Amino acid sequence: MSRADSRLEVLLRPEVRALAAYHVPDARGYIKLDAMENPYAWPEETTRLWLERLRGAEPNRYPDPACGNLKRALKAANGVPGDAELLLGNGSDEIIQILLMALKPGSVVMAPVPTFVMYRQLAVSLALPFVGVPLRAGDFALDIGAFLAAMAEHRPAIVFLAYPNNPTGNLFDAADVARILDAAPGLVVLDEAYAPYADAGFMDRVGQYDNLLVMRTLSKLGLAGLRLGFLAGPPDWIRELDKLRLPYNINVLTQLSAEFALEQQAVFAAQVAAIREDRARLAAALAEIAAVRVYDSQANFLLLRLLRHDADRVFEALKAAGVLIKNLHPAGGALSQCLRVTVGKPEENQRFLTAFRQALAETA
Ligand code: PMP
């Protein structure tokens, strides 16, 4: 072992050494359908107004740590109940980290699986035990009996429910979620990252449960590059969590740009409506392929299971054809032979479909 290696062993926490980094592939040159981004740019006039607004930015000054204007705009745009408070994060990833940093050592973190990988990743990085409770095999619905039993056994300090869930795309049964809220010994975080693409959510119930927190992000709406997520909850909770937030975690450009974007509701509403329509079109086209199962989705992506092909080979063939999606097969288990494709622009979806049919033919 070299001296540098032994220093790593001696100094770093073993859970950090054991972690694998969150892998983000280099997407340059590809049709990028792997990361649930909104594919649309802004109209020319909107961009002009945005740049005009940014003229007022003062990059020599620290940003407003309280983000008062931005919080007001977020609350109005998201129907946050008046008596709820907000915690802002550099993406909702940072909010997950803040939540977990606040918990006592040994606290159990629980979520149905498969789900968004950062719940486990961040729990492990902070040496907190993560318990995943399998979703039902056929349709990825909550197995409510198993979930309630797992909560009774492990007494989780925090439960994450992605609503809709990533990578499966479905909304869990709202009555099951209510049962989890009633029975949970600790916090329940409804992660509504895909809210713009879903017909249901729990934001209006914030305050009705003392353990309910609702987390959202601007990433999937169309502002992934700004990195802005938020958590809505009872003031007592938000006040404590806010102590762990780095004072200037939302930078000057993000604050100004997000405030501006929230004034452009019509632009985003049109983009979201187009993506929702194209989701239905893409799902219908994929459903015609007998060797593929496409799952219902309330998000801006579709989960596919290959019934007769090898997902690794199809993924590589798509890549060779210039289309990047997400290969979930390496995760194994319930995601064996599964792929996830983000809904792009109509021409991108068409390029994907053509390349996908070709890839299935080539790898049959
Ligand atoms: N929650 C879920 C369910 C997600 O799928 C994602 C991103 N893939 C996030 C949170 C994180 O989003 P961001 O950090 O961009 O706000």
Whose C-alpha lies nearest to ligand 1, atom 12? 92
Cα 93 to averaged position of ligand 1 atoms, centre (Å): 6
Cα 10 to averaged position of ligand 1 atoms, centre (Å): 33
CB of 166 within 6 A of ligand 1: the answer is yes
What pLDDT shows up at residue 345? 98
Choose the residue to mutate in 36, 97, 219 for probing ligand 1, maximizing ligand atoms within 8 Å of C-beta.
219
What pLDDT shows up at residue 96? 98
What pLDDT shows up at residue 22? 82
Domain boundaries, the chain: 3-43+266-362, 60-263
The string of DSSP codes covering 331-358 is G-GGGTTEEEEE---HHHHHHHHHHHHH
Q: List per-residue pLDDT tens for the chain, 364 residues long.
A: 788 888 999 999 999 998 988 888 899 999 999 999 999 999 999 999 999 999 999 999 999 999 999 999 999 999 999 999 999 999 999 999 999 999 999 999 999 999 999 999 999 999 999 999 999 999 999 999 999 999 999 999 999 999 999 999 999 999 999 999 999 999 999 999 999 999 999 999 999 999 999 999 999 999 999 999 999 999 999 999 999 999 999 999 999 999 999 999 999 999 999 999 999 999 999 999 999 999 999 999 999 999 999 999 999 999 999 999 999 999 999 999 999 999 999 999 999 999 999 999 999 8
What pLDDT shows up at residue 3? 84
CB of 91 within 6 A of ligand 1: the answer is yes
CB of 217 within 6 A of ligand 1: the answer is yes
What pLDDT shows up at residue 2? 84
Question: Is the Cβ–Cβ distance between 206 and 213 less than 8 Å?
Answer: yes
Give the dihedral sign, CA 119/17/250/300.
negative
Cα 51 to averaged position of ligand 1 atoms, centre (Å): 27
pTM across the whole model: 0.97
Cα 241 to averaged position of ligand 1 atoms, centre (Å): 19
The string of DSSP codes covering 89-136 is ESSHHHHHHHHHHHSPTT--EEEEES--THHHHHHHHTT--EEEEEPP
Cα 298 to averaged position of ligand 1 atoms, centre (Å): 15
What pLDDT shows up at residue 5? 84
Cα 44 to averaged position of ligand 1 atoms, centre (Å): 28
Span 3-43+266-362: which CATH code?
3.90.1150.10
In this structure, the strands spanning 323-324 and 31-32 are parallel
Choose the residue to mutate in 24, 33, 92, 216 for probing ligand 1, maximizing ligand atoms within 8 Å of C-beta.
92
| φ/ψ (deg, to 5) at 189 | -105, 115
Class of domain 60-263: alpha beta
Cα 362 to averaged position of ligand 1 atoms, centre (Å): 34
Whose C-alpha lies nearest to ligand 1, atom 1? 193
In this structure, the strands spanning 109-113 and 158-162 are parallel
Q: Cα–Cα distance between 328 and 337 in angstroms, integer?
A: 7
CB of 89 within 6 A of ligand 1: the answer is no
